[in-house]
Structure 1
């Protein structure tokens, strides 16, 4: 005789949800540390954990939403503003640093990003933070869900997203290494802007929670 499929469910108590939150934050910190040590594919795991923490749908419920704190937090925002009329792409969460290979690369500035303000969750999650050189815009939500839902964080989509691919393969941010003698482009900037952005927004999320420790007790 099989088990009943309509077994009663009971809602998780708040202390149990707080423990789940602490676990997910530890996951996030460890993956962020691995990313910073050079394991850039950790961006997939970072995106998946961020999704667990903040993304709500009709069928899934974010952990911070279940704790009823997501909308009450003042979210740290380090993205530079989208500049109207700017002919170049806007980096948003992406910094640039000199790498060990002797060139410039996209990187996450973490706490040294020049912009640091506070925003509502909706603004933090949904307002554009990257504008490509063809004027298409991306927000944090798109970046996280692209890596988590399509690129292998939790699922590999059978089809490619052309816009996503263009950021990686067509230099839609428009930055290149330049030969100082000829002033001509020599190579595309190293690094992957969406992965870098996800690492930076992970810093923002962790910093947001750390500034509100009362939610972890």
Structure 2
């Protein structure tokens, strides 16, 4: 006889659910610290935490969905660190990897390799940032263009990296988009910089860590939104329940 597993489950109390959320946010911060310390492999672990927090499916509820439902408030708008408004210009007409959620660092010195190192974006104190409705922020706008045919929104980047490298299993196959970036098969941004002797030096962007850098930026947006817009509402709701 088939038994429904849900028959053996009991609902978490609001206090328990909030406690579990705080633990997951702590884990996400820790993974970000490892990434910021120079270990880019933690990008996959950051993606896994973001998937748990944000990714809703017909089989499982994200922590965000559970929290907003249990504490009875509408999902707030999410912070956007994107350097452009809306869709990227010339989408589908450029052949090099680009994203408004990353930046490239160039060190123009003869002894340094001619590469553009990918860096995530971070919050700048005092700067005003746009906010977007969660659905638009999460899967309504493409934020990574690999070539003229391959685009990814935030949900796509998070799930791609989490499923490829951060899950319970390492699959023998690799998603085509992930392979294009990891193997350098996609075209990289190139910048020509003048040298004192009149020659130019070509700097080429590293693209194998683009997914991880984009995910790190998404983590910054997510942590800010939870800390400033979601956790305060949960605390207010709990305080109201305690008074009742």
Q: Indicate the SS of the match to 1:156.
A: coil
Correspondence for 1:123 among 136, 141, 144: 136
Q: Which residue of structure 2 aligns with residue 50 of structure 1?
A: 50
Q: Which residue of structure 2 aligns with residue 214 of structure 1?
A: 232
Correspondence for 1:202 among 208, 214, 219: 219
Q: Which residue of structure 2 aligns with residue 93 of structure 1?
A: 101
Within 2, Cα distance between the matches of 1:119 and 1:52?
20
Within 1, Cα distance between the matches of 2:68 and 2:222?
16
Deviation, 1:13, is 1.1
Q: CA 1:130–1:64 in structure 2 vs 1: closer, same or farther (change >3 Å)?
A: same
Correspondence for 1:84 among 69, 84, 90: 90
Q: Indicate the SS of the match to 1:41.
A: helix
Q: CA 1:170–1:211 in structure 2 vs 1: closer, same or farther (change >3 Å)?
A: same
- 1:143 matches 2:157: yes
Deviation, 1:186, is 5.4
Deviation, 1:178, is 4.3
- Matching of residues 1-80 of structure 1 within 5 Å: 8-68=8-68, 72-80=75-83
Structure 1, unmatched stretches of 5+, are none
Within 1, Cα distance between the matches of 2:129 and 2:165?
29
Stretch moving more, 43-52 or 167-176: 167-176
Q: What RMSD, in angstroms, separates the aligned Cα atoms of the two structures?
A: 2.9
Deviation, 1:216, is 4.7
C-alpha contact (below 8 Å) 1:76/1:205 kept by paired residues: yes
TM-score for the superposition, normalised by structure 2:
0.76
Within 2, Cα distance between the matches of 1:167 and 1:156?
18
TM-score for the superposition, normalised by structure 1:
0.84
Stretch moving more, 197-206 or 72-81: 72-81
Q: Which residue of structure 1 aligns with residue 200 of structure 2?
A: 183
C-alpha contact (below 8 Å) 2:35/2:43 kept by paired residues: yes
- 1:108 matches 2:116: no
Within 2, Cα distance between the matches of 1:31 and 1:162?
26
Deviation, 1:198, is 0.2
Paired positions, count: 214
